[in-house]
Chain A
Amino acid sequence: MRIDLEARPKRSTLREILSPVAALIVAIAIGGVAVAIMGRSTLTAFDVYFVEPLSQFYSLQAIAVKASPLILIAVGLAFCYRANLWNIGAEGQFIAGGALGGWLGLVTHDGAYQAIGGWWILPAMMLLGIIGGALYAMVPAVLRVWLNVSEILTSLMLVYVAQLCLDWLVRGPWKDPHGFNFPVTVNFDPEATLPILFEGGTLHLGVLFAPIVVIVAAIIFAKTIFGFQVRLAGSSPKAARFGGFDDKRIALAAFAISGGLAGLAGVAEVSGKIGQVLTTISPGYGFSAIIVAFLGRLSPVGIFIGGLVLAITFVGGEDAQIALQLPGDLTLAFQGVLLICVLAADVLARYRLRVRLGGAS
């Protein structure tokens, strides 16, 4: 018996839209089996994971707060992936942005440098976050462009470098001297904290970055010559060079955008949600955003929806730890299953499986 993948004669838009939906359903079914094997009720788990987060105002806010960094990072990743550059180090770029932006929050602590007022601090922090992430992304980008080093390895390994550097900073030079030796920094001044959108809620100003970035990115991809270059360089690199587009510049720009958006997400997390710098500032947003990017088929609008779906699994996963004593790693395992299902569905949307019986070679 032999199993062949046969290209479908026609591409169907409907099939391509439905394929991530089908992937989600299959992933949920697999997750249900895993929960049953662990001795919990599948139906209750489904309720805790996917229904309850959507039925309470508090958790809806939590979903938005968690979806926002996922969407920002994933939109950035879409620039890289569309250009056929495999940046999987967004987690590190997120940390770099959070650390550099957070640094300004620490420096201006307790009214320091605020003689002209504190209005400039937040914009400057956001800008530093973008710069930090973009510069950190330049390392794999430059290595790739000039030395042809695989950006997959360098970007991934730099994640661990970033994590360890942040850990050292927070345990060392940046530690709050009055913090009873806990590895935390001082709390930011209100001038260095993204404001809460309404009294008593958890939604902060940074949540609004995501929809804005999605709209701008959608316009860039669809309407501008830069978006055209990025898509072309990934789809037909030789044709892109024939078009007169500089593939090195495109690669550097895609990495800069990707790193910059991850850095923005990092500083928004530090300044909006956390309010100080900790040894860990991300529950793995940089990696989960890879799933979001593919769940959204690398289109900004799709990524917006995909980010919300992944955020539900984060919030539901936290609830499940409390309500069902299910391990937090189950959430990560589920996200991994989801990625595999999304990639498989992508293939099946373009190819059809044909099983041939008999031994014809």
Chain B
Amino acid sequence: MAQSDATNEGHGAATPLLAVRNITKRFGTFTANDHVNLDLAQGEVHALLGENGAGKSTLVKMLYGILAPTEGEILWMGAPIRLPNPNAARALGIGMVFQHFSLFENLTVAENIALVMPSSQKLDDVPDKIAEISRAYGMGLEPSRPVWTLSAGERQRIEIARCLLQDPKVLILDEPTSVLTPQEAEKLFETLERLKAEGRALLYISHHLEEVQRLCDRATILRLGKMVGTCNPRVETPRSLAALMVGSEIKEIRPAGAHELGPERLIVANLSLPSPELHGVALKNVSASVKGGEIFGVAGVAGNGQSEFFAALSGETLARSPNAIVIDGSPVGTFGIGARRALNAGFVPEERNGHAAAPDFTLSDNIVLSGHASGGMTRAGFINAALAKEKSRNVIASFDVRAAAPDPLARTLSGGNLQKFVVGREILRGPSVLVINQPTWGVDVAAAATIRQALLDLCAKGAAVLIISQDLDELFEICDRIAVIHTGELSAPLPARSTTREEVGLLMAGMGGADHAH
């Protein structure tokens, strides 16, 4: 096809290793990628930036042969290619590290890697090869370790090693740092630098703007499936990159000022709970207290007891002693979520679809979900549907929830809009204590700013806010104090303004040293 003019717009004279020309992908009437162009040169780290739903995943899935493009073409060293399946992509030299690992917990590192090797390879050679790769890239993998004993960062390095055994020329990484501590991320960057130095091309998907600036030579930005442009991230600022991603200037969040703190409104005292399920985390002697007007952050790598801690705070899991959790002076450890709401506490769980909200119910029904026991929402067992609709309209208006209909099913909203709805639903009730897990997980930059501002405003009115988040930037931005949860234990809180990310990072990795308060 139009190869000649396609190569003209490439960067420099060299033919890019992998190029995408006017690629379009439609799912029914929805266009996920709209005439996107991308060049990937040898020895470059290329960032793919965009909000959730911008089409990043769709694009890389086409590059890895999982999806077939509707229009447009993919060029490999200048020649158009078709990728009917991931095997074809791997055969060419395209490898991919997914955000979610696919490893067998009970097998060793070597066994997990051997599983994906061609059957002609001998199993006995695998440990040597792993050791070789591990040395070459400083990955520190031990072939005989079972996977269940490894941290997220080590697991990710197995995935990378799996790709490297195929000697790929292009490596695609999907949000690789989302499950890592800052120190683990640092180690990943070193590995990636070596890969780049060998002349491999890396396509790096992320929405962490700082790491993109640090690591990437070029960035291609997608917005709503369309390509906004390609730029050099090092000459941009995080704000200008974010503005490109969302298409408008981001509201500056008013930093947490040095305001007066009220009395202790939420107290957790020596809370211990066994793990609720086989692979869950037990809570060990967790203590914390949050004052009115304060935002208390709980940092930690995913899977260290965050959801268990949230369930204990919300009353979805009951503590053994009433005094383990005290809300506004009332011991509520053995009370359910309804009784805690009656004390004017609000809760926002991590998972919005199916936990915070019922996807097959309308938004006004979802108002009833958490608000049925207060404010005259039910009378003699009957639901006041008019009131629920009115409250739903209020949330939609105050939190700029974009919906296609006045009272749509929750499932029809995008992730960010549903998150604004479930956060707004609780905040508009004016809670005196708010517990919120991953408030801006998977939410675009503009919506995240709205949510964080709303949390700051709520706490300025005297509410106690406890935020559980994996996003350190977020915690440092709005929290007064930060504690770290690691394998079910909560560290002593550190004042956010006089603490460095490195200190928190060490705690996240379980290297807190002697300053545990309990």
Contacts and interface: CB of A to CB of B under 8 A. Distances in A.
Given A242-B316, A360-B84, A360-B85, A236 B354 contact: yes
B23 interface: no
Contacts of A240: 358
B85 A361 contact: yes
B403 to A, nearest CB: 15
B336 interface: yes
A225 interface: yes
Interface in B377-436: 378, 381-383, 385
B357 A239 contact: yes
A240 B30 CA distance: 32
B29, B30, B315, B372 — most chain A CB neighbours (10 Å):
B372
Interface of A: 9, 223-226, 228, 231-232, 235-236, 238-244, 246, 360-361
B305 interface: no
Query: Which secondary structure dominates chain B's binding surface?
Result: loop
A242 B373 CA distance: 13
B383 A225 contact: yes
B155 interface: no
B478 interface: no
Given A9-B30, A225-B382, A243 B314 contact: no
Contacts of A361: 85
Contacts of B351: 238
A241, A244, A246, A360 — most chain B CB neighbours (10 Å):
A244
Contacts of A226: 381
A9 B338 contact: no
A251 B242 CA distance: 48
Contacts of B359: 235-236
A223 B314 CA distance: 27
B327 to A, nearest CB: 15
A236 B358 contact: yes
Interface residues of B, number: 34
Nearest to B68: A360
17 contacts: A224-B383, A225-B368, A225-B383, A226-B381, A232-B358, A235-B361, A236-B357, A239-B354, A239-B357, A239-B358, A242-B337, A243-B372, A244-B372, A246-B336, A360-B84, A360-B85, A361-B85
Contact of A223 (B84, B356, B382): B382
Given A224-B381, A225-B381, A226-B381, 13 more contacts: A9-B30, A225-B382, A228-B368, A232-B361, A235-B358, A236-B360, A239-B358, A242-B316, A242-B347, A242-B349, A243-B370, A244-B315, A360-B85
B369 A9 contact: no
Interface string B335-374: 0111001000001010100111111110001001110110
Contacts, number: 72
Given A225-B382, A242-B355, A232 B28 contact: no
Given A224-B381, A224-B382, A244-B338, A239 B369 contact: yes
A239 B355 contact: yes
B29, B315, B347, B382 — most chain A CB neighbours (10 Å):
B382
Nearest to B377: A225
A238 B378 contact: no
A228 B383 contact: yes
Contacts of A232: 358, 361, 369
A9 B28 contact: yes
Nearest to A227: B383
Contacts of A231: 361
Contacts of B355: 236, 238-239, 242
A231 B349 CA distance: 21
B340 to A, nearest CB: 9
B419 to A, nearest CB: 15
